[in-house]
Structures are given as structure tokens and as C-alpha cells.
Amino acid sequence: MRRLADPFWFQAFGCALGFDWHSSGLTTTVLGALKVSLSERNLGVQVAGGKGATSRKTPSEIENTTFNLSTKKIESLEPRRIRLLKKVPQKIKRFYERCQDSGISTPICAIEDKSCSGCNMVLLPQLVNELMANTDSHKNCPNCSRILYFPEVEEEEASSA
């Protein structure tokens, strides 16, 4: 997923697939190819969108995706979601709801490679250091205002490093 999010890698990937480097439709074409190839497998990843009229169906396509979670599984997770939601400060909840209402699909973003994963802007070292020093605190991206956090390091990744 990280590689797909990297614009340079993605452009090179499109070229490796045989699409024209200078083509304005490279992104759409590559995503269309991924959508077709990944739809046949159950990998927990969903690709949405497409060219032309298909692209206008993207919002409903995303809403209808359940990522192979049954209704029973979703209902069983609801009490945990409510319990965890009570721990979130009101200020952050209001910000999140405002973002959802205004169409920002990911108001809370991880810091990846010292950048906001929402807008891909490099963050000031001081901001990154403050969040590293106090992982329970929160800061907003100075560019897109999304709430930033450091993703938890999996134990497997930590032991292999």
C-alpha cells in the first residue's frame, strides 16, 4: 500500500505495465487494471473508480463495500466502537464530524516518512518530534488540518528491525 501511495513508484509501475509515461490517463488506467485483478481475490483491499461514467459511481461503490465483514461481525464490533468513542476528546470528535460532513474522507492520518499521509506534505521536524515525545497528544497538519498520529509498530516489525 505504501508503494502504491508513492507517486514516483506508481508512475514507474504504470510504465512497467506498459502504459505510456506521459499519458494523462496513466493513474486511471493502472487503477482500472488493479481493480479488475484484485476483485477476483479476497485480500482485504478494494480498488474503486474507473474511467468515464464508471468514475461517477465511485462514491456509491465505496459506500457499498463491506470489506468482507458480515453484518453480524459489524454488529459485534459496535459495542467496542462505542466504548472507544467515549475515550475520544469532544474537540477531536467535533473536528472529525465536521470533516466527514465536508467530504474529507480521512480526517485522521498517520505520519509516514515524516509526512502527513493525507496530503503528503513533509512536516516540520519540531512537530514530528513533539508527537514522538508524547504519543498520547495530538497535532493537526499545518497544511490540510487533519489530525496526525504515529501508527503503532507491530511487534513483528520491531523484532525484525
106-112, long-range: CB < 8 A, 24+ apart: 106/146, 107/146, 107/147, 108/146, 108/147, 108/148, 108/149, 109/141, 109/146, 109/147, 109/148, 109/149, 110/148, 110/149, 110/150, 110/151, 111/148, 111/149, 111/150, 111/151, 112/2, 112/151
Rounded distance between C-alpha atoms, residue 49 and residue 7, angstroms: 18
User: Rounded to two decimals, what is the model's pTM?
Assistant: 0.46
Rounded to an integer, the average pLDDT of 134-148 is 85
- Per-residue pLDDT band for 95 (boundaries 50, 70, 90) equals confident
pLDDT tens string 119-131: 889 999 999 998 8
pLDDT tens string 71-88: 788 888 889 988 988 888
Rounded distance between C-alpha atoms, residue 108 and residue 140, angstroms: 9
The domain locations on the chain are 2-63, 89-160
Quote the pLDDT of residue 155: 45
Quote the pLDDT of residue 126: 94
* List of residues 6+ apart from 125 with CB closer than 8 A: 114
Rounded distance between C-alpha atoms, residue 104 and residue 140, angstroms: 14
Pairing of strands 139-140, 115-116: unpaired
| Phi, psi (degrees; rounded to nearest 5) at 106 | -130, 80
Quote the pLDDT of residue 161: 52
Rounded to an integer, the average pLDDT of 135-150 is 85
More confident residue, 27 or 67: 27
- Is residue 27 scored above 60 in pLDDT? yes
Mean pLDDT for the chain? 78
